[in-house]
Structure 1
Amino acid sequence: MPPKKKFKATASSSTTVFDRRRFISPEAKERYKQNVIHRNCIPERGLENFLPDKIHSLGWEKFTEQPTAVSIPLVKEFYVNANEHENFKVFVWAFWIKFGSFSINRFYHTQDIPNDDYSRLRDEGVDLDEIIRTIARLGAEWKRSASDVTHFPSFGLIPNCKIWHHFTSSKLIPSSNTSEVTKERALLNFVIQKGYSIDVGRVIQCC
């Protein structure tokens, strides 16, 4: 999701002609033209007919439904305008749409969870070896940079965790690169397997 800080329009560009039905500002129009219009969107995916017991235990029945078709240009305009959001409200075709964690949870019928386990473990830290033992096959190892653990190859995931990896990489922490399991996505998968709490709206809002 877009960053939390409100983008400030500059005086030099404030008089530029732009379609006020589609864009909140001249800067938003320029971002659309320069950075977004030719980029591919990461398609969302559902989990219908997969892992029903786990989905039920999480309360994610609606969240994991197969998504319906959407207007790709409209999605792109949402994101360029969201850079200039007002308290997590974004301008889309002359309407203001709420996309804060509360609104996201209402849409997906998921719970608002103060101090959810995923956020707590992300902030406080967790044993990375325990994570990889839980979600990956024997022999899978973290790749390391000069100063930190970075990722491990997704082919090392156990089957159920591979399904969750592809789902969360399209719906919760979007990435087109599913061949690598980053620490953040590994933690998310770990929390799902353990049955710990996740505030879906907060994760999406902060991405």
Structure 2
Amino acid sequence: MSAFMAARKKQKLASSSVGYDKFRFLSAEASDNYMEFLCKDLVEERGIDLSSAKDAPLLSAVKARGWGELIRPPAHAIGPLVREFYANLKERHENFRVLVRGKMVPFDSRTINDVYHVPDIENDEYTEFLSKNLDYVEVIGMLVRALATEVVNNPRLDFMHFYREWCNFVTAALMPSSHVSVLTKERAALVFALITGKSINVGRVIQDSILNSVQSATVRELPHPSLITSLCERAGVSWVKDEAILEPQNTILGVQRPVVSEGQDMPLKGPSPSRSASAPPIHTPLPAHLNLHERVTLIEQSMRNQRRQFDAFCQRVDNYMAYFMEFNSSLVQMFVVCGLNIGPNAVQFPQTPTLPSYPPDDEENDDH
């Protein structure tokens, strides 16, 4: 590293260490986290459309557990406040408490259970199930068998609709995510516990969801904004009126299912789930209190993110091209072997596809 570059790096570190807002952030690193999180999506919790789900098995099961607050439309969220919470949380927390604007905000399981008015179960069966360290295939197999058992016991249920109901509920209330179609091991285990009636500590599930969102190598999205705003409000955190307010998103409509009469055949394929079951991620407007340096930094980070996405796309294209080239080569070898062993001339076999040749660019033609 040249002396000039070393001096520039030292100057940058020195300026960042004194230039951050000490009231809002624990450290300069937390301030940098906030700038990074401005580009991340806030994935809000969603309630259930009770008018379309009054006869759904999911609704009766959720009410039987005393989880009525989880299916109600959530309150509004304050975007900058939530991002400050996560920015400081990524640096550290003290017994599940995070410093936000001079107040310690708890997000432990007991506090979360108190917010949602659900029982605080110390030794729940879901946590015990996770402690068995089952692999993904085992969990999926257990989930499929549990779903099949429910459908066999109740012929009026449609397998895929029943499965989507629970997945939509999990990704809307307990583990909010914009990728509702991705079934991770944790979601599969949670759906299995819900279907089989295992006891679940809701607060612990949400507490772990909040922690896991910032402990991964790459923070993709920030869940539970409505809950975090409520936790901050309970702790006495204040905010100004012009801060970005996120209104609740659409409720879950994916619990709708066809009603099948006795003796009527079950449809081979149910209607596709509503688009609102996978609500688009939320992009909050840029907070008004950002200074020029913060705005320029945000633009630079956005450009770097776009560059990384473009590089990843190019790498994916290269991988596909390499695969098809190898595939073509394998086909040629297979046809040659068949021709030598069976008798016909290999020329009579179908020819493998070749990569198209592209004409030279217009700029190159102009140069000539």
Shared fold (TM-score greater than 0.5)? yes
Structure 1 residue 181: deviation in Å? 1.3
Q: Distance in 2 between matches of 1:48 and 1:177?
A: 20
79, 83, 86: which one aligns with 2:86: 79
56, 64, 76: which one aligns with 1:69: 76
91, 95, 111: which one aligns with 1:103: 111
Please show how residues 7-156 of structure 1 align to structure 2 within 5 Å.
Answer: 15-33=17-35, 35-49=36-50, 50=53, 51-83=58-90, 84-125=92-133, 127-128=138-139, 129-135=141-147
Distance 1:170 1:77, change over 3 A: farther
How many percent of aligned residue pairs carry the same amino acid?
37
Structure 1 residue 101: deviation in Å? 0.8
Determine helix, strand or coil for the equivalent of 2:45.
Answer: coil
Higher helix proportion, which one?
Answer: 2
Determine helix, strand or coil for the equivalent of 2:70.
Answer: coil
CA-based RMSD: 2.5
Structure 1 residue 86: deviation in Å? 1.3
Q: Distance in 2 between matches of 1:87 and 1:94?
A: 17
CA contact (8 A) 2:147 2:159 kept: yes
Structure 1 residue 12: deviation in Å? 7.1
Determine helix, strand or coil for the equivalent of 2:183.
Answer: strand
Q: Which runs of 5+ in 1 are unaligned?
A: 1-10, 138-155
Structure 1 residue 157: deviation in Å? 6.1
- Give the counterpart letter for 2:39 in structure 1: H
User: Which protein has the larger Cα radius of gyration, Structure 1 or Structure 2?
Assistant: 2
- Give the counterpart letter for 2:190 in structure 1: L
Q: Distance in 1 between matches of 2:201 and 2:185?
A: 18
- Greater CA drift, 178-187 or 47-56: 47-56
- Give the counterpart letter for 2:173 in structure 1: K
CA contact (8 A) 2:17 2:27 kept: no
Q: Distance in 1 between matches of 2:60 and 2:41?
A: 33
Q: Distance in 2 between matches of 1:93 and 1:164?
A: 37
- Give the counterpart letter for 1:174 in structure 2: P
- Give the counterpart letter for 1:131 in structure 2: L
Q: Distance in 1 between matches of 2:169 and 2:176?
A: 9
Determine helix, strand or coil for the equivalent of 1:180.
Answer: coil
